[in-house]
Structure 1
Amino acid sequence: MKLTKLLTGATLALGLATTAMADPTKVGFVYVGPVGDGGWTYEHDKGRKAVEAAFGDKVETTFVENVPEGADAERVITQMALQGADLIFTTSFGYMDPTINVAKKFPKVKFEHATGYKQADNVSVYSARFYEGRAVQGHIAGHMTKTNKIGYIASFPIPEVIRGINSAYIHAKKVNPDVEFSIIWAYTWFDPAKEADAAKALIEQGADVILQHTDSTAPQAAAQAAGNVITFGQASDMGEYAPFPRVSSIIDEWGPYYVARTQAVMDGTWESVSTWDGIGAGMVGIGEISDAVPADVKAEALALVDALADGSYHAFTGPLNKQDGTPWLAEGEVAQDYSDDGLAGMSFYVEGITAEIPN
């Protein structure tokens, strides 16, 4: 009897010790650029650090940076899964098919893919309504340009980027009917040399405002060297260039989402969802508007931020036509997220943009 009691007590003690020493939840992150890019990847890595801060030794995070979109991504994601990751965040559009492919092989692992649209039982998708921030940038740019020429450094011709160009143009045009957009496609998310060259080319063409959908601070530096060109931070604040040339920024706030989804895995409540949040939900932040912006323009921009946040205004509100002049949105009509001509699959410019979307 005594032996039985001793064994029972020992077994219980061992069970308690095992519970106390439970393995941490392993969370992996796959990055398209370096963590020091000052933009997109920098902000995703801040989100990773937020997970560590929230859960301490209950989590173990890992990351791989500079992962090309394609076969290399599939290899890296597979390796993370083989190393025991419970949750993997793949943080670039081009990781969509590699994520789906790996998820099929590891049904017990949870995957979260940024900016894509393909889901599975163990794959969620998430993105931010960056186009809301572009509306604010366009408003400021339209007021501040003196040459009426705005340059835009675009990354890849995907709906996310096209939405941003359209939103910026619509809101610049609203306050300045004479504004023109010049667009250079860099075909990269992060390449400081290419981005700097694109910025310089746009400035040489007369642009005195540069917008970017690429991740380095090189366009900021090029504008600073030019001396009379304004810019906006992309993905992160890029505040080292404030108050001029950087007059505001779009800031990607991934931390709260990453913490919530990690908590769901830990709780056993994780399920596949599609998340697309904007300024109102805090996933898109607007960096401080510097005093280089006239007070009245700043006040208008802040009012626009508030209207976008509370839903009283939508960045794509008719009347709006497509580039070829065919009607898109009627007076007062707002664009739907998912429809034949909706925002999720946007593949056309709005009327007034003279550039062509490359294949």
Structure 2
Amino acid sequence: MSILRRSLLAAPLALPAFAIGRRAAAADPFKVGFVYVSPIGDAGWTFQHEMGRRAVDAALGAAVKTSYVENVPEGADSERVIRRLAQDGNQLIFTTSFGYMNPTEKVAKAFPKLKFEHATGYKRGPNLATYSGRYYEPRYLTGIIAGRLSKSGIIGYVAAFPIPEVIQGINAVLLGARSVNPKATIKVIFTSSWFDPGKERAAADTLVAQGADYLTQHTDSTAVVQAAEEKGVWCSGYDSDMLKYGPKTHTTAVEMHWDNYYVDRVKQAIAGTWASGDVWGGMASGMVKLSRFNPSLPAPLLAEVAAKTEEIRSGKLVVFSGPLKDQAGVVKVPAGKAMMDAEILSMNWFVEGVQGKV
């Protein structure tokens, strides 16, 4: 995703042995490669994918040999890395950044006997699958929290790029906030980077200076949470639990869980049952959820969020249901209607109340 300095590091490989059927795992392990856009660290987008890779090792042991390359810039450099993993004998390769889409497609066509999976993309092929999470579902819940806790009614949102995935999240937060505070607004600053702690911190500081007393993010570092903690304003993190970076102000985080997906897909590849397709997992599947809550949050708020969580899981609460208006007040989704997946996946407009430009 972001333009980062290159750091090509090999991961520790297989954990204790685990045999799959009659496969001679220790002698002939199934090789799986992962490409990460940022450093692994101890929180964030890449960290959660790394937890998924480690889950594969733990579940399958010597039947697999996994490796990763972290901090890989999008563009030509990512194509080189993906191609190298293919040439090195990896039979299944996961590329975990939106900007890896075209490079992954190109390499997949060059290696038709190998299997590839791209996170958050939409281009597929016979040996190229896609997968992502419905991040907007738990974001709606963080919006409820923001709407209840913000005194100014201004939510500051540090975002990476104005792509549908990010726009969905911004809109979902505001819809959640306005469900409890109809006057709530969101101010957005785009950093043009998925991982740039300096830019994220500067954006957070600017938003607080503009009156935001609740911060959230669609970027990958902990800088926004750390800024909120220092400024004494509430916040919610992204990708993984970030409470330790904001013990006083971090309410919860939108958390991704790739463990089951990665383990299942590797098992399918080994068994010969893997097939290309698209997975878009929501809260009902467990692929996305809220992380632990700050102990200081009031019990009534936690009960409210718990009730709405169950409504989302059951399908009773559909985040993008009408009536929805855009920033100009034009009705985009009429009352009694809900957006179809294809419409959500191509979302390129902000709901009424968002201050920012797509």
TM-score of the aligned structures, taking structure 2 as reference length: 0.91
Which residue in 2 is equivalent to 1:313?
Answer: 317
Could you say which structure has the larger radius of gyration?
1
Residues 155-174 of structure 1: CA deviation (Å, up to 9, x unaligned): 01110000000000111112
Once the two structures are TM-superposed, the CA of residue 239 in structure 1 deviates from its matched residue by 2.3
Matches within 5 A, 1:84-163: 84-163=89-168
Alpha-carbon distance in 1 for matches of 2:25, 2:128 = 30
Note the 1:102-251 alignment, pairs <5 A. Answer: 102-227=107-232, 229-241=233-245, 243-251=247-255
Tell me, yes or no, if the aligned pair for 1:250 and 1:287 is still in contact at 8 Å: yes
Equivalence for 2:259: 255
Q: Deviations over 1:148-202 (max 9, x none)?
A: 1110000011100000000001111121122121111011111111111111111
Q: What code does the residue aligned with 1:141 have?
A: A
Tell me the distance in 2 between the aligned counterparts of 1:196 and 1:26: 38
| Deviation for aligned residue 1:37 | 5.6
The residue that corresponds to 2:274 in the other structure is 270
Say which SS state the counterpart of residue 306 (structure 1) adopts: helix
Task: Give the Å deviation of 1:274.
Answer: 0.4
After superposition, the Cα gap between the structure-2 partners of 1:265 and 1:144, relative to the gap in structure 1 and judged at 3 Å, is same
What is the deviation of 1:18? 9.6
Partner of 1:66: 71
Distance 1:18 1:165 in 2: 47
CA pair 122-244 structure 1, distance change in 2 beyond 3 A: same
1:303 aligns with 2:307: yes
Contact 2:119 2:131 in 1 (8 A): yes
Distance 1:293 1:18, change over 3 A: closer
Whole-Å separation in 1 of the counterparts to 2:24 and 2:75: 40
Q: Which has the higher helix share?
A: 1
Inter-partner Cα distance in structure 2 for 1:130 and 1:152: 15
Provide the C-alpha distance between the structure 2 equivalents of 1:329 and 1:188, rounded to a whole number of angstroms: 31
Q: 1:191 to 1:18 in 2, by over 3 A?
A: closer
- How far the C-alpha of 1:94 sits from its partner, in A, is 0.4
Q: TM-score, normalised by structure 1?
A: 0.91
Paired amino acid for 1:351: E
How many residues are matched?
A: 337
Quote the offset at 1:323 in angstroms: 2.2
Q: Within the alignment, does 1:333 sit opposite 2:333 as a pair?
A: no
**Structure 2: how far apart are the matches of 1:49 and 1:278?**
22
Indicate the SS of the match to 1:175. Answer: coil
SS at match of 2:203: helix
Q: Deviations over 1:199-224 (max 9, x none)?
A: 11111111110010011111111111
In the alignment, the residues of structure 1 paired with residue 25 and residue 114 of structure 2 have an alpha-carbon distance, to the nearest angstrom, of 23
**Structure 2: which amino acid aligns with 1:88?**
I
**Paired residues of 2:188 and 2:355 also in contact (CA < 8 A):** no
CA distance in 2, matches of 1:281, 1:18: 30
Matched, 1:81 2:82: no
Residue 292 of structure 1, CA deviation: 2.6
Q: Which amino acid aligns with 1:350?
A: V
Q: CA deviation at 1:293?
A: 2.2
Match of 1:354 in 2: 355
Describe the SS at the equivalent of 1:314: coil
- After superposition, what is the alpha-carbon deviation per residue over 1:27-82, rounded to whole angstroms, capped at 9, x for unaligned? 00000000116100000000000000000011000100010111001000000000
- SS state of the match for residue 343, structure 1? helix
Quote the residue 2:13 is aligned against: none
Superposed CA RMSD in Å reads 1.4
Equivalence map 1:19-34=2 (5 Å):
19=24, 22-34=27-39
Code of the residue aligned with 2:290 in structure 1: it is I
